[in-house]
Amino acid sequence: MPNILPQITQEDIPLIQKMSHSLAFLCADMVQKANSGHPGAPMGLSDIASVLHFHLNLSPKDPKWLNRDRLVFSGGHASALVYALLHLWGFDVSMEDLKSFRQLHSKTPGHPEYGHTQGVEITTGPLGQGVANAVGMAMASKYALNLFGREIISHYVYCLCGDGDLQEGVSYEAASLAGHHQLSNLILIYDSNRITIEGDSSLSMSEDIQQRFIAQGWEVLSCDGHNILEIHNALTQAKASPKPSIIIAHTKIAKHALNLEGSHKAHGAPLGEELIIKAKAKLGLSPEAFYISDDVAFVFASMKERGELGVKEWQKQYKNLPQITQERLANMQEVDYSKIIYPQFEVGESMATRVSNGKILNAISQALEGFIGGSADLAPSNNTYLENAGDFPHGKNWHFGIREHAMGAISNGVAHYGLFLPFCATFFVFSDYMSPSVRVASLMKTKVYYIWTHDSIGVGEDGATHQPIEQLSHFRAMPNLLVFRPADANENIACWQVGLDSQMPCAFVLSRQNLPVIIPQSEELKAQVQRGGYVLASCENPILTLVASGSEVNLALRTAQALSKSGINTQVVSVPCLELLLEQPQSYKDELFKHTKVLAIEASRGLEWYALADSVICLKSFGASGRGEALFEHFGFSVEHIIEVAHQVLGHKA
C-alpha cells in the first residue's frame, strides 16, 4: 500500500498555525491545572507536531494496525503533547483525562506508559531509550518487509528527541546500527532548542550533530522548527531518502510563552495562569482553559477517517496474499508447543547451561518463525547463533555489535513492533549496561528474552571485572522480571517452557563451565519449575534443607549425601526461579522446607535468600582471577565448608 505524500501550500499555513497555537496552550493548560509537569518541550514542538499530523497514518479505531506509522517520543517530558495529540486524533483519551494530567489513576501519567494509555507505542523512560526503541521498530519493519513485501509493510517510524536524548550514549549506539543497516523508513526529528535543565546546552555540549550523523551514514536535514513549509519539506525529503534521516529542527523552548520563551525555566514548571492568559490573547486564542475551536478539532479529527481508509486498503492487500502467507503473519508469535522438538539430554552428560541453551534456542527457532535475536558480538560464547536461519535483514540472527545499551532498548522496540519474540544476549556482568532497558521492559511486561551467560566466579581466569557478583540479586529484585538460573540442561528446557508461557520478560542466567546433567527429563519438571522451586533430593525426616540454583545445585547434592552419611538427614531444593517461589503460598513453602533449618548456597551476593533461609553461603567480595574450580574452593563453595556451616546452622558445637 503506497504511503501518499500530503500537500501543504502557503494557503494552509494560517490554519496549521492555529492548530499549533491551540495545541501548545492545551498542553500549557494541562501542566497549569496539574501544577506539575513540563510545558516547554510541548510548546516548542507544537508546530512540528501540527505538520506531522498531515504525514502520519494512524488509526484510532484500530490502534494495533500492523502497517500504521510508529510515533515514538523519546523525551517523556513531552507527555502533555502526546496526550493532547491522542485526544485530538480520537484515541481513547478524553478531555477529562487531559484535565487529570499527572494525577493518580489517570490515563495521563507524568511520563507516557505503554498499556496504560491507548496510542502510546512504548514506554521510553530514561532519555535516549526512545531513539533506540525507534531503531528497533525500524529494524523489525525492515525484516518484516523482506518477509512479506511492500504491499503489507510500507509505513514509517518517527521519533521525536531532544538534546538530552542525543547526549545519552544509548542513542549514539543505536544510531550507528541504524546507519549501518540503512533503515530508510526511520525519521528522527531532533528538537534542537539548545536548552537543558541547567541552562544553555553549550554548558556541556558542543559537537557538530550534523557531522556526527553524516559519519554514521544518515541523511541529515535541517529546518526552522517553527516554519510550517520548511518542516513539511524536510519531512517530505526524509520520507524519500534511502537512508535513515535526522531532521535538525531549530526551535525555541516554550514558544509563545512571552518572557519565558527560550528559557530553561520553562522546562519543568507551570507557566502561571496570568502569563498563559496574556500569551493566548496575543495569539488571538480564547482565554478559556482547555478550549479547542471547532475548525481545529475538525482537522485533527481527520486522523480517524484517514486511518480507517488506510486500514481498509491494507486489508485488501492482506486478502490478496496467498493463504500460507496470511497464516504465517497470523502465527508469527503463536507458540505451538507440539512443534518444538527439544533436544534430549541424558543424566550423566556434562554440559554448560550456555551450551544446552544454544540447542534449546535452535529448537524453538525451528518451530516459531517470529522467534529472532542475537548477541552483543558474543554469539560464539553465548551459544546464541540460530543455525541455517540467515542474518539480518534477511535472516533471524541479528548482530548488535558491541552495543549492550542499545541492544536492550532495540529489543524493546522489536517486541513492540507486533510480529516478533526477540531475545538478546551478552555476558552476565555486562547486563549492567542493559539495566535501564530491562527495567522499562519489566515495567511494560514486554516479552523479551535475555540470555546472560558466564554467570558467576565460574568464569575463572578473566577475573573480578568479568565475574558477576551483585547482578543476580539486582535483577531478582526487579518487579515483573522472571530470572531463571537452571541447574542443568533439562531444567533449562523446563525454564524455557515456563518462560514462553509467561507474559513478562524473562532472563536466563547460564554457566560458562560444564555442569553434570543431574535431573531426568519428565512431564512433571515444567510444573515444578512453574512454582519456582521443588525438592530435588528428598529423605525421611529431614532436619536440614540445602537450597541452591544453577551450578551450586550439584554442590548441594554432593554435600547432602555427605551430611546424610554422617547422620544428618538433609534434603536438597532446587530453585531455578526465586521470584516464582516467593510468590507461592506459605503452605507450599512449608511443604517444601518441612520446617527444617534452611541453608542457601549461591556463588553470588545472594542476600535475597534470607527471605527463605536461616543462613546463606554467598560472596562477600568481588571475585578473582584463577581456574573456576579453584575459585569455588577459595571462596568457600566446597563440600567441606558447607558441612562446617551446616553444623553451625543446626546449633552443633564445634
pLDDT tens, position by position, 511-561: 999 999 999 999 899 999 999 999 999 999 999 999 999 999 999 999 999
267 is in an annotated binding site: yes
Query: Is it the case that residue 2 has pLDDT exceeding 50?
Result: no
Q: Measured between alpha carbons, how far is 138 from 410 in angstroms, rounded to an integer?
A: 9
Burial-class residue 206 by CB neighbours within 10 Å (0-12, 13-18, 19+).
Answer: exposed
Q: List the grid coordinates of 280.
A: 493566548
Q: Which residues contact 211 (CB under 8 A, 6 or more apart)?
A: none
The average pLDDT across 621-631 equals 97
Of residues 247, 190, 216, the one with CA closest to residue 406: 216
Binding residue per annotation — 558? no
**Amino acid present at 219:** E
Predicted local distance difference test score (pLDDT) of residue 334: 86
The response to whether 163 counts as a known ligand-binding position is yes
> For the segment 378-396, what is each residue's pLDDT rounded down to a tens digit?
999 999 999 999 999 999 9
Mean predicted confidence (pLDDT) in 598-618: 98
Residues 6+ apart with CB under 8 A from 563: 544, 570, 643, 646
Residues 6+ apart with CB under 8 A from 400: 177, 374, 375, 376, 377, 406, 407, 410, 424
Average pLDDT over residues 591-611: 97
Amino acid identity at 346: E
Q: Provide the terminal-to-terminal Cα distance of the chain, rounded to the nearest Å.
A: 79
The three cell numbers locating residue 475: 535483577
The whole-number pLDDT of residue 336 equals 87
Give the Cα separation of 120 and 78 in Å (integer): 12
Q: Could you tell me the three cell numbers for 299? A: 482537522
490 labelled ligand-binding: no
- Which class in CATH covers the domain with range 12-313? alpha beta
In the three-class reduction of DSSP (H, G, I as helix; E, B as strand; rest coil), residue 535 is classed as strand
Q: Does the annotation list 195 as a binding residue?
A: yes
Distance CA 550, CA 457 (A): 12
The C-alpha cell at 210 is 550534523
Q: Is the pLDDT of residue 3 over 60?
A: no
Please state which CATH class domain 349-517 belongs to.
alpha beta
What fold is seen in the domain 532-650? Rossmann fold (3.40.50)
**Residues of CATH 3.40.50.920 domain(s) within the chain?**
532-650
C-alpha 571/C-alpha 638 separation (Å) is 17
Residue 404 annotated in active site: yes
Indicate whether 141 pLDDT > 90. Answer: yes
127 labeled part of a ligand binding site: yes
Q: How far apart are CA 45 and CA 510, in angstroms?
A: 46
pTM of the model: 0.97
CATH 3.40.50.970: which residues of the chain?
Answer: 12-313, 349-517
Q: What angle, rounded to 10 degrees, do the helices at 79-89 and 40-55 form?
A: 40
pLDDT digits (tens, 9 = 90+) for 439-489: 999 999 999 999 999 999 999 999 999 999 999 999 999 999 999 999 999
- With contact defined as beta carbons under 8 Å apart, do 375 and 514 qualify? no
Check pLDDT > 80 for residue 367: yes
Residue 538 CB neighbours (<10 A): 12
Q: What is the mean pLDDT of residues 350-362?
A: 98
Residue 512 marked as a ligand binder:
yes
Residue 474 marked ligand-binding: no
Among 329-333, 397-401, 580-584, the minimum mean pLDDT is found in 329-333
Alpha carbons 90 and 304: distance in angstroms, whole number = 6
Mean pLDDT of 310-319: 96
Q: 430 among the known binding-site residues?
A: yes
CA distances to 22, 50, 242, 254 from 84, rounded to whole Å, are: 10, 11, 32, 16
Q: What pairs with residue 199 in β-bridges?
A: 196
Other Cβ atoms closer than 10 A to 578: 25
Q: What pLDDT is attached to residue 1? A: 45
CA atoms of 144 and 155, how far apart (whole Å): 11
Helices (H), 122-208: 129-148, 163-167, 169-180
Active-site residue (options: 121, 230, 404, 491): 404
Tell me the mean pLDDT in the region 245-266: 97
> How far apart, in whole angstroms, are the C-alpha atoms of residue 195 and residue 206?
12
Answer yes or no: is 164 a known binding residue. Answer: yes
Quick one: what percent of the chain has pLDDT higher than 90? 97
381 is in an annotated binding site: yes
Q: Are 112 and 73 in contact (CB under 8 A)?
A: yes
pLDDT at 4: 63
- 155 pLDDT exceeds 90? yes
Average pLDDT, the chain: 97
Closest CA to 438 of 412, 456, 413: 412
